[in-house]
Amino acid sequence: MIIVGVCGASGSGKSTLARRIKEALSCSCEIIGQDCYYRSFPEIPFEQRVHLNYDEPTIFNYDEMIEDLKTLSAGQPITKKGYNYARHLREDSTDLIYPPEVLILEGIHIFYDKRLCEMMSLKVYMHVDIDVCLLRRIFRDIKSRGRTIENISEQYLATVKPMFEKYIKDYINDADFAIMRGGKNRMAIDAIAAYLTTKVLAERFEKEKLEQAAKPE
């Protein structure tokens, strides 16, 4: 299984890039968002959960994600994780994700845990102007997450921008390459898809060679 990491600021186009890469591939591919691995705090009242810092790195459960990746790498399925943005709670399901040939991980802190980075064959950073990211975030959060301008502005100033300055902007140093203009960069999508296709074909060839060698004479 080939693991790709896509990192960058909120609103930089990580999810869009991941979807476009998947569409460009002819092999099996799954996308897992880091948001699905938010730590859940059901014991805390909603009014307090709203004000937790959802943009700092340790809000994510890296151990859980790494265990799931190990399970997939071993050829076994995992249950699909999920998150309810309106209630600020985990919302996992019993649906299964089966091991794909290519697995794309995307998230604002997907390069934070070095154990995760070591599992990636390719690390991509979305290098997009932070003001553009904010505009995209406003549109997305109002349309699909039921947020208000006031709520978005408060969160952006309190946690999003400070965490970008402290952590996220420096993840570019961990990337194999950076993508400009966001997730619809056609040349970047084609280049990544071509690279992954080559890797997949090489892995298929190696698997077939091992299977042939294991057959009795």
102 assigned to some structural domain: yes
26 assigned to some structural domain: yes
Residues 6+ apart with CB under 8 A from 137: 10, 11, 152, 156, 160
What pLDDT digit, counting tens, does each position of 94-103 carry? Answer: 999 999 999 9
Three-state DSSP class for 54? coil
Lowest-pLDDT range of 18-32, 60-74, 98-112, 180-194: 180-194
Strands (E), the chain: 2-8, 29-33, 78-79, 83-84, 89-90, 96-97, 102-107, 122-127, 177-180
216 assigned to some structural domain: no
Residue 217 is predicted with a pLDDT of 64
Q: Which residue has the higher pLDDT, 179 or 216?
A: 179
Q: Is the pLDDT of residue 86 over 80?
A: yes
Burial (0-12, 13-18, 19+ Cβ within 10 Å), 66: middle
149 assigned to some structural domain: yes
User: How many structural domains is the chain composed of?
Assistant: 1
Q: Any idea what the CATH number is for the domain that residue 87 is in?
A: 3.40.50.300
Domain that holds residue 145: 2-211
pLDDT confidence tier of residue 215, bands split at 50, 70 and 90: confident
83 assigned to some structural domain: yes
Q: Are 49 and 154 in contact (CB under 8 A)?
A: no
- Is this structure's pTM higher than 0.75? yes
Residue 74 is predicted with a pLDDT of 96
137 assigned to some structural domain: yes
Cα(131)–Cα(41) distance, rounded to whole angstroms? 31
217 assigned to some structural domain: no
